[in-house]
Structure 1
């Protein structure tokens, strides 16, 4: 096995030390940062960038602490440039990454839109997630929560509720206008989005007030964890085919 191959396996599988908490964790629970050519710290969400990495627990609170404590420079034993807004920049990147995955899920036929179709899919018990635009009215959320309970009965709470995206974000990702409610159908086409959304939900969970439970499950209003909403225009630059 070549050295490059070993390095890839090492980055993705070996446990790493958080520069803030000093806890050893699985890489999937952490975010890797590297110093760019000009010394600016940048997040490496895919864990592919060259250079020595600094690993931080995958929450906005931990990233804010890393900036405050100057943990990046201490870990690398060199002067680095760290944006005061780094935690928010990471959140924006994670949202964009999740929207890219949602666009791919849509192309794979794993997304249903339109209130009636979403309600029908929920009642059939074939979905893994319910998506609400952040502007969605409580009445629509409540009706779809009821449809979930009819379809899934006692397991309805296991269905993820995603409500961190604005209507404009969903419109861009799904290539249609006025998307307020959508559903993700169970299957390989939905796996990529679900993995990215879970990381995003975990990242913002303790950083912003939420209208729902912290584990991403449904409540009486059909509400899940809520992070800072990204304006639809902010996601306009993502590439859907990556």
Structure 2
């Protein structure tokens, strides 16, 4: 299975992580390129020109690649890893998830608010439960991840609010179809890179290395 919860096919491209040495689908990796001034640049959208350097969407793997000179080894020449690169990558990934949820909302595949999310879950319309990582734990436990579905808990209430055009959002839900698979894939990447993430609808906070 891929990180997006879809069955892997033979055509799904795979790449090797320079930090772990593991070969896995591109959906679970971050692409980097060497930009101007021989500086390593994250390619969150996967569209920048140049030879791709791939690292697992895992903070420990990213830190290893940065500290051990693995980017230079992969590029076969000295390259610079800018200070704060991983923090910047985290912000880009968070914005990517926000943007995708916003597009899903505009397409009718996402709703916000406790009552709307509850209604979609009750009608088995929701395939993904989305909750703010900094929301009330008591309130979040009232909703459960749909059977056979997914849970996203890596965005703050403010970030979810941006996705839904509000100040803050704690609860949301995504239907199958549209951009939902891409939202899940990008949220999984953010989950691996972000300093802390919420695991499951119980709201338990874990660190990225607690796998």
TM-score (norm 1): 0.72
Question: Offset at 1:65?
Answer: 0.2
C-alpha displacement of 1:40: 0.9
Corresponding residue SS for 2:129: strand
Q: Which has the larger radius of gyration?
A: 1
Q: Does 1:164 align with 2:154?
A: yes
Q: Which residue of 2 aligns with 1:22?
A: 21
Q: How many residues align?
A: 198
Change (3 A) 1:225 1:128: farther
**Structure 2: which 5+ runs fail to align?**
1-10
2:166 counterpart residue number: 176
SS at match of 1:105: helix
Matched, 1:108 2:120: no
Quote the RMSD (CA, aligned, Å). Answer: 2.5
Three-state SS of the structure 2 residue aligned to 1:188 is coil
Offset, 1:139: 2.1
Shift in Å, 1:134: 2.5
CA gap of 1:192–1:27, structure 2 versus 1, over 3 A, is closer
Q: In structure 2, how many angstroms separate the alpha carbons of the residues matched to 1:143 and 1:77?
A: 52
Contact 2:162-2:168 within 8 A present in 1 as well: no
Cα distance change on mapping 1:227 and 1:96 into 2, 3 Å = farther
Kept after mapping to 2: 8 A contact 1:63/1:86: no
Higher strand content, 1 or 2: 2
